Amino acid sequence: MKLKKFPLAAGVLSASLLFTAACSSDSSSGDNASGGAKGDQVVVDIFQGKVEIADQLKALTDQYTKENPNVTFNIETVGGGADGAAALKAKFASGNEPDIFSNGGYQEAVTWKDKLEDLSGEPWIKDAFDNTLDPMTIDGKVYGQPMNLEGYGFAYNKELFKKAGIKEVPQTLDELEAAAKKLKAAGITPFSIGYGEWWVLGNHGLNIPFSAQEDPDAFIKSLNEGTGKISGNQQFKEYVKLLDLTIKYGNKNSLTTDYNTQVTNFATGEAAIIQQGNWIQPMLDKINPNLDLGVMPMPLGDGGSVKGKISVDVPSSWVVHNGAPEADKEAAKDFLNWMVTSEEGKRALVEEFKYVPAFKTIEADAKDIGPLGAEILKYSEEGKTMPWQFMKFPDGVKEEFGASLQEYVGGQVTEEELFKSFESTWDKLKK
């Protein structure tokens, strides 16, 4: 399957510093002698939040170094949305700013604009898929390079589904519960849930009812203007039913289950379904490279406007610090260009990172990007996707939404109290 050009949903969004993904913490620094600007020795500091691609990124910078020996890379990886964001802010506050870091776009791009280098003149601009530059475009200028396309829904183990006698992929809540009952009857835990991670709930979970609104942008605008309500909204009520279903048929102690444990439980076949996306493919391959996987929608009731759709978007973009020394900036920009235009860089992005490319000049075979990436690509080519709405939320809302949902999962608040807390959080943090 070759990558084809496809239109992203209008208003394509990106994720946050967590890059939709790993919320455990890890750090690595490497003396990867790299360089793109020929001349004096340059050290390019990279700060990134995807724990699952830390090794692949180091290997890629090592390759770049071989070709450009005058630049060394120092890579720091801090996974986790709030943790990563706080760590990045601390680095800037201490004067230890990275040369390359990541940005989720839209609201986050506006927040960090004064620190971002204008990349509008970079050669890769012309190769990006339609709308993939939107998250980092402000007043007609592009401030970030899209990393990739990512999508999520319920990834499922086809072998375990077959073992339980599930012949049709569930498209509605009732069908999903019927499948869960069959899995349980076969001695298989239906869901691997990791609600110890706020972003699984506050970002990815809540994106579904926001996307299911008749006009998501108008709904968000109504919340900002104080005229909209979450309480009593049918789509949010349906999402809570979906959440309840995963808790009922999921692993125990979901609030103390972190990202790594959640993914490991799925990879080892202890559970058949996981709410995650194609970013977990490298982790799965390390544990069990022969998994036969699919991706299905996260249904709201009978499906409604989001029936058959999964969430696909640009998760994050690479940005360059505009206050970095000129030699560092030039080397940083050269590396980013090399990563998406050189044969070695393009190969690594699809074969090692397992990325669904954001550039039409990078081809991706299903065997390269893995079964989850192939599923994301298939949904995208068929137009069965919805954008990520959560990056339109006011700063801080996602984290508080996640915390409120964790309280609900823990039985500390009722559904009505949950929705009231959503509204009070939005009112408190809106601008």
What would the pLDDT profile of 168-215 be if each residue is shown by its tens digit?
999 999 999 999 999 999 999 999 999 999 999 999 999 999 999 999
> Is pLDDT of 99 > 70?
yes
If asked whether residues 304 and 396 sit together in one domain, one would say: yes
Residue 375 domain-assigned? no
**Distance between start and end Cα atoms, the chain:** 45
If asked whether residues 335 and 398 sit together in one domain, one would say: no
Residue 174 domain-assigned? yes
If asked whether residues 262 and 337 sit together in one domain, one would say: no
In tens, the pLDDT along 322-351 reads 999 999 999 999 999 999 999 999 999 999
Find the DSSP H helices in 212-319: 216-225, 234-248, 259-267, 281-287
Q: Distance (Å, rounded) from C-alpha 388 to C-alpha 246?
A: 21
Mean pLDDT, all residues of the chain: 89
If asked whether residues 351 and 292 sit together in one domain, one would say: no
If asked whether residues 74 and 39 sit together in one domain, one would say: yes
Q: How far is CA 249 from CA 52, 168, 192, 246, in A?
A: 27, 19, 9, 5
Residue 225 domain-assigned? yes
Give the pLDDT score at 130. 76
Last residue of a domain, one of 344, 362, 380: 362
Top-ranked range on mean pLDDT: pick from 26-40, 74-88, 261-275: 261-275
If asked whether residues 332 and 418 sit together in one domain, one would say: no
If asked whether residues 174 and 268 sit together in one domain, one would say: yes
If asked whether residues 327 and 200 sit together in one domain, one would say: no
If asked whether residues 256 and 403 sit together in one domain, one would say: yes
Give the CATH number of the domain where residue 420 resides: 3.40.190.10
Residue 371 domain-assigned? no
Domain membership of residue 321 as a residue range: 32-149+314-362
Q: 4 pLDDT band (50/70/90 cuts)?
A: very low
Buried b (16+ CB within 10 A) or exposed e, 11-46: bbbbbbbbbbbbbbebeeebebbbbbbeeeebbbbb
If asked whether residues 268 and 358 sit together in one domain, one would say: no
Residue 71 domain-assigned? yes
In tens, the pLDDT along 280-304 reads 998 999 999 999 999 999 999 998 8
Give the pLDDT score at 79. 76
> Is pLDDT of 50 > 90?
no
If asked whether residues 250 and 351 sit together in one domain, one would say: no
- State how many domains the chain has: 2
If asked whether residues 59 and 145 sit together in one domain, one would say: yes
Q: Which of 17-21, 157-161, 221-225 has the lowest mean pLDDT?
A: 17-21
CB burial of residue 169 (10 Å; 0-12, 13-18, 19+): middle
Q: 80 pLDDT band (50/70/90 cuts)?
A: low
Buried b (16+ CB within 10 A) or exposed e, 416-429: eebbebbeebbeee
Give the pLDDT score at 414. 98
With residue 157 as reference, give the H or E element that holds it.
strand 150-157
